[in-house]
Amino acid sequence: MTDAMQRLRESLRNAPVIWKGDYPYFIHPITDGVPRLDPMVLKAVTDLCQTAIDWDNVDLILGIEAMGLPLTAPLSVRVGIPLIIARKRSYGLEGEVMIGQETGYSKGEMYLNDIKPGEKVVIVDDVLSTGGTLKAVLEGVRRTGAEVTHIIAVVEKGPGLANLQAEYPDVIIESLVRLEMDGAQITLLDEE
């Protein structure tokens, strides 16, 4: 196991858990923006994403508001590829694509801007649970005429990744860490 993976996994092991009704919810700075983000954990995530993706055929990195901002910015600087963020409000720019987004706990609209036909896009997301957000974003990118070649989620929790892989076999879809909640206990899967 690399030092970067070890650092990420350790930070997740130590994440606080709160209850939202009957649902245990882990809180982590990579997925929630709180508590404070240790720059070495962000560096670890950046290192892991950089090595997981073949950057030779990538034109654009796409992050998803809000945690897509800190996840994709250092990656963009490091690999020298521009980034955009799927936003939760419209800017009304020419070519803007509205997408309906529905997850297990929220529903709303998101907006994509400045994606050109034929571009090869990598999506970096913080958590993949149900896959609802990523499916909507992937379909939105396709409506622009661009192609999603790779999706990487920092944390995989639930059936969403497997469901997306079955529906989109032409896209590489993976996660850095898989976990499940057992009550208030975070269980990291795939221990090496």
Least confident of 18-27, 108-117, 169-178: 18-27
Confidence of residue 102 (pLDDT cuts 50, 70, 90): low
Closest CA to 62 of 117, 131, 119, 128: 119
3-state secondary structure of 16: coil
In CATH, 37-180 is 3.40.50.2020: yes
Flag whether pLDDT at 79 surpasses 90.
Answer: yes
Q: What amino acid is encoded at 96 in this protein?
A: E
Mean pLDDT of 13-40: 93
| Residue 1 pLDDT | 85
Flag whether pLDDT at 21 surpasses 90.
Answer: no
Closest CA to 78 of 50, 117, 100, 118: 50
**Which pTM does this prediction carry?**
0.95
Domain boundaries, the chain: 37-180
| Residue 101 pLDDT | 73
